A and B are shown apart, each in its own frame.
Chain A
Amino acid sequence: MSHDLGVWVAALLTLAALSFLYKDNLFYRIAENIFVGVSSAWVFATNIHSDLIDDMLLKAFPHAFHQPGPPDLKPLWGGLIGLLILSRLIPGWTSLSRWGIAFVVGFQTGIQLFGAIVGNVLLQLNSTIVPLFVPRNLSATLRNGLGTLGTFTSLSYFYFSREQKGWFGVVTRLGVWFLMISFGAAYGSTVMTRMSILIGRLQFLLSTWLGVIHT
């Protein structure tokens, strides 16, 4: 059994969180509130350190942090934009925040446009164009054919300008089958993820805390 106070706290909080599966209780509430408080504090502290200190103050005033190199005042512009956004909190100054938000939106759009078009559209389109018949490779032929069939039939289900009857109804029903199978696979993956989390917690309890197994 562990002699580490931190491990004991983590183990007892784990048990308190799991106790919710029986029913809502005081120990679960305590664990829940500690989790929210600690995680909020952690996020706040790390963000302040990363954004405010490392990205702005350290670059603008390196000597104040005993760092070499000349001061770089450019990051202070970022701080100014941040202050503009915060001006929303001051009555009468709220319109200033639009400048900051406009800058952020424009900047993000500019950055994301290229990546979205190239990474998510062009390269993906390129990889979808595959030969339907691959000589001397039956598995590749089947895989490519099935992928093409699944793509067209699934998309056809979302074509609402024509009633889904007759031959078109058969195609859309096939598309629904493809969709259902993919949703089932996604659900199965979700179950596996949740089980893995339970296994991780139990490994911690049985190994790190109680020491009855060795991993």
Chain B
Amino acid sequence: MIERLQTLDRRWIFLILFLAVAGSLLFPHTLHVAVEPYVQKAYDTLDLLKPGDKVLMAFDYGPSVAPEIHPAALAMLRHSFERGAKVVMYTLWNEGLPFLDASIQHVAVPMGKRENIDYVNLGFKWGGLQGSSVIEGMGSNLKAVFPVTHEGVPYDQVPILQGVKGYRDFKVLIAVSAGSPGVDEYVRYANARYSIPIVAAVTRVSAPKEFPYVNGKQIYGLCSGLVGSAEYEELIHHPGLGIAGLFALSVANLVVIAFIVFGNLIYFWGRKSKKG
């Protein structure tokens, strides 16, 4: 019995986990969402925006982490628009473009926001693995980095970009980021040199790396992972994919914890049997 459990095929674990997550999505249960202070700070920063304020928003992530931070991007974009801000969007990741487009379709268009007036999509800019030259360049001359919008409209002909030279013309930079180039680079090149306030949404796995920046007030607020996305959705009273996935995430975590406890029990039981 004990030997059989010690050599249990790991595919049983995959199957149980799959069924647990699928089941919790099919039979959802609404959980109470407690908001972390870091997420509250992010919300408070965007909530200070006034009508007409300009916001810079980076979609630096791809499909591999979209379930975690795309809901946060949608929530933060919605919040910015609700405050009457004008949003300048772009991505430094090749894979970020479809999510930038999707955000416009899911948030800006239904809210009646007008392209090039209330928001603009500057598209993708390749800045190397760290994006340092592009992020640095955007501080002093945004036009040089993005001479045309994603739709090919020249910079000077875009109403929302009139009078915009660089970071100092924006109230806040929202960095939805899954790696490099991302939040770390914005902290080093945009915040350190140009002092632009940064609000970020990152994956849960990279969050511990970013907490010191929040404590150092180099990032004003931070949403991390699916939980952070759900918390931000809760704050703006607009449930989305974040809250929808929260119950499944809790069930999945409980299954993983149960397997860790089970595995340890089997290990110690086996060791005791050998000694006996």
B164 contacts the other chain (Cβ, under 8 Å)? no
Interchain CB contact under 8 A, A202 and B21: yes
B193 contacts the other chain (Cβ, under 8 Å)? yes
A94 contacts the other chain (Cβ, under 8 Å)? no
Bound Cα distance A63, B28 (Å): 57
Of A25-33, A47-55, A80-88, A161-169, the segment with at least 4 beta carbons within 8 Å of chain B is: A47-55
Given A50-B124, A199-B252, A213-B25, 6 more pairs with CB closer than 8 A: A22-B11, A123-B192, A193-B68, A199-B249, A212-B26, A213-B26
17 contacts between A and B (CB under 8 A): A39-B95, A46-B94, A46-B124, A58-B147, A69-B154, A108-B130, A114-B193, A120-B187, A126-B216, A192-B249, A193-B68, A193-B203, A199-B21, A199-B226, A200-B66, A200-B241, A215-B244
Interchain CB contact under 8 A, A50 and B21: no
- The chain A residue sitting closest to B212, CB to CB, is A124
Partner of A108, one of B123, B133, B147: B133
Task: List residues of chain B with CB under 8 Å of any chain A CB.
Answer: 11, 14, 17-18, 21-22, 25-26, 28, 64-68, 94-95, 97, 123-126, 128, 130, 132-133, 136, 147-148, 154, 156, 185, 187-189, 191-193, 203-205, 207-208, 212, 215-218, 224-227, 240-241, 244-245, 248-249, 252-253, 256
Of A152-160, A171-179, A183-191, the segment with at least 4 beta carbons within 8 Å of chain B is: A183-191
Contacts of B130 in A (CB 8 A): 108, 112
**Chain A contacts with B in 121-158, Cβ cutoff 8 A:** 123-124, 126-127
A99 contacts the other chain (Cβ, under 8 Å)? no
How far in angstroms is the closest Cβ of chain B from A92?
29
Partner of A197, one of B22, B67, B187: B67
A107 contacts the other chain (Cβ, under 8 Å)? yes
Q: Mark each residue of chain A from 57 to 86: 1 if its CB lies under 8 Å from any CB of chain B, else 0.
A: 011000000011100000000000000000
A108-B133, A198-B252 known; A115 vs B188 contact (CB < 8 Å)? yes
Partner of A206, one of B17, B25, B125, B203: B25
Give the A interface residue count (CB, 8 A).
51
Partner of B193, one of A54, A59, A118, A213: A118
Interchain CB contact under 8 A, A203 and B26: no
Instruction: Report the 3 A-B pairs with minimum CB-CB distance, sorted nearest first.
Output: A200-B67, A115-B188, A127-B216
Interchain CB contact under 8 A, A124 and B248: no
Contacts of A67 in B (CB 8 A): 148, 154
Contacts of B156 in A (CB 8 A): 69
Bound Cα distance A124, B192 (Å): 11
Interchain CB contact under 8 A, B241 and A182: no
- The chain B residue sitting closest to A190, CB to CB, is B205
Interchain CB contact under 8 A, A119 and B188: yes
A42 contacts the other chain (Cβ, under 8 Å)? yes
Partner of A196, one of B128, B132, B147, B204: B204
Interchain CB contact under 8 A, A54 and B208: no
How far in angstroms is the closest Cβ of chain A from B207?
6
- Best-surrounded residue of A46, A54, A195 (most CB of chain B within 10 A): A195
Bound Cα distance A121, B185 (Å): 14
